[in-house]
Amino acid sequence: MGNLCSVSCSIKDTVSRFWDCVAGQVSYTIKLEDNLKALSVEGAKLKARRDDVNRRVDLAEQQRMKPLNEVQLWLSSVQTAEAEAEVLIKDCPQQIQQLCFAGCFSKNCKSSYNFPEQVSSQLAEIVYLKNAGVKNAGVFESVAENELAVQVDVRPAGSTVGLERTFDEVWRLLEQNNVGSIGLHGLGGVGKTTLLTQINNKLSNELIGYDVVIWVVVSKDHNIETVQEKIGEKVGLSRGGTWKNKSFDEKAVEIWRVLSGKKFVLLLDDVWERVDLIKVGIPESDQKNGSKLIFTTRSLDICGQMGAHKVIQVECLSKDEAWKLFEEKVGEETIDSHPDIRELAKQVADECEGLPLALITIGRAMAYSTMPKHWEYAIKVLKEFPHKLVSMDEEVYSRLKFSYDSLPKDTMRSYLLYCSLYPEDFEIPIDELKDY
């Protein structure tokens, strides 16, 4: 009889446990389905809000602003929450199956309810993040701040001996508003790039009111797209993945939009032909925006074609300046190594005619020449076959030949060749040259 009672109680407990579990399963299943729908809806809203914030951050970065740390943390939290929600939604069918009657006979039926609790918790997290990302809520009134980082890329620079006066003149113009564009012209190797580099580097320490400094090497074979790419990289436009896929005109619009809101200095090095700044997307430099364009070229005509407000010729060095630069490159130890070398070295420097590139190249080549006969040989070679001196052909004459080859007409090349028939320092009558 006791055994029968025990069996009866066991069946009663089992049936009671079964119905309790069934009731709980039905309740949890209904709640789970509601929460899953809500999780999907709220997740979509959060994704839309996240996309809006990302667009604002991208726009701010294009303007070289720095995203706020709180915004970056929110975006990171959203990314994590969205990934976790996707896993829960993906596991939903399998988890619902586990909330069947069979689960009611497990030793701990509460374990079957773990998944609905996870969904409920994730739904609360998604809703919280969505509300935190509202544009007018707290930190999201602004997603970025002006970046205090240096807006100038410091570049390797050579000696500025003899360029000081020209540098000071250009710097004074940078501090004025009545000159928007400056053209620096002169022979190849005269120091135009060195001068432009020094201006760039000083701006890294003294921006004097400018927001950004952009350096672009143009060169003879340039194209508008290449110039756009370099400018886009500097102002942050190329950070976005869509930049490369934009058309030429679309890039111009983007560059114009960014630079129109900034006071900039654009440095164009080695310009051989007119660069259409409007097509590139560069606003015209004028008194209104205070921006500046400074470019280097070998041709005075290019200064006119580029509409330079101020034209400055970068000239060869004076005799004293040339000797100072040459002595610097050779080194005092070599100059003073023999009583005759100083005078011979001055003759070598004179043969360079004040051209900085030649002075630097030959000075380096003679830096360890401590015997007078070496200097005598250098003087002879410079007078008769200068291109045969160490590094002269590669460093100096290749550039001069490039200038010669780039002359627009055969007539102009003929003029230059006929000049070589005249004696050194001879005054050449232009009319006579034309007749020849």
pLDDT tens for 366-402 read 898 999 999 998 888 888 777 666 666 666 766 667 6
Q: What architecture is domain 164-313?
A: 3-Layer(aba) Sandwich (3.40)
- Which residue type occupies 268? L
Question: Over 70: is that where the pLDDT of 221 sits?
Answer: yes
pLDDT at 132 (0 to 100): 76
Tokens (6 digits) for 390: 């160490």
What's the CA gap between 248 and 268, in Å, rounded? 20
Count CB-CB contacts under 10 A for residue 417: 10
Question: Over 70: is that where the pLDDT of 406 sits?
Answer: no
* Chain mean pLDDT for the chain: 79
Give 133 or 357, the one with higher predicted confidence. Answer: 357
Tokens (6 digits) for 161: 């001996």
Give 317 or 39, the one with higher predicted confidence. Answer: 317
pLDDT at 165 (0 to 100): 92
Q: What architecture is domain 319-405?
A: Orthogonal Bundle (1.10)
Residue 381: Cβ-neighbour burial (10 angstroms; 0-12, 13-18, 19+):
middle
Task: Write the CB contacts of 102 (distance below 8 Å, at least 6 apart in sequence).
Answer: none
What's the CA gap between 151 and 263, in Å, rounded? 12
What's the CA gap between 255 and 277, in Å, rounded? 11
pLDDT at 399 (0 to 100): 63
Complete DSSP assignment for 64-127: TEEE-HHHHHHHHHHHHHHHHHHHHHHHHHHHHHHTSGGGGGSS-GGGGGHHHHHHHHHHHHHH
What's the CA gap between 86 and 139, in Å, rounded? 27
- Residues in a beta bridge with 268: 216, 295
Count CB-CB contacts under 10 A for residue 434: 10
- Tell the residue number behind the tokens 């074979």, with chain if given: 221
pLDDT at 68 (0 to 100): 78
SS3 21: helix
The backbone torsions φ and ψ at residue 188, rounded to the nearest 5 degrees and listed phi first, read: -65, 130
Tokens (6 digits) for 312: 């400055």
What's the CA gap between 27 and 221, in Å, rounded? 75
Residue 360 host element (H or E): helix 356-365
Q: Return the domain boundaries, the chain.
A: 2-146, 164-313, 319-405
Which of 157-166, 268-277, 419-428 has the least mean pLDDT?
419-428
Greatest Cα-to-Cα distance within the chain, rounded to the nearest angstrom = 143
Which of 96-100, 277-281, 344-348, 422-426 has the least mean pLDDT?
96-100
DSSP 191: S
Sheet of strand 264-271, all strands in order from the earlier edge strand to the far edge:
212-217, 264-271, 292-297, 181-185, 310-313
* Angle 368-164-365 from CA coordinates, rounded to 5°: 15
Q: Note the pTM of the prediction, 2 decimals.
A: 0.62
Q: Which residue, among 17, 40, 34, has the nearest Cα to 105 in the 3D structure?
A: 17
pLDDT at 102 (0 to 100): 46
- Tell the residue number behind the tokens 């579990």, with chain if given: 21
Q: What is the pLDDT of residues 47-63, one digit of tens each?
A: 888 888 888 877 776 66
What's the CA gap between 130 and 58, in Å, rounded? 20
Mean pLDDT confidence for 166-188: 91
3-state helix, strand, coil in the chain (%, to 5): 60, 10, 30
Question: Over 70: is that where the pLDDT of 95 sits?
Answer: no
Q: What is the pLDDT of residues 244-255, one digit of tens each?
A: 888 889 899 989
Question: Over 50: is that where the pLDDT of 111 sits?
Answer: no
Mean pLDDT confidence for 209-235: 86
Q: What is the pLDDT of residues 120-151, one digit of tens each?
A: 777 788 888 878 766 544 446 777 765 544 46
Count CB-CB contacts under 10 A for residue 269: 20
% pLDDT > 70, the chain: 78
Residue 216 host element (H or E): strand 212-217
Question: Over 90: is that where the pLDDT of 306 sits?
Answer: yes
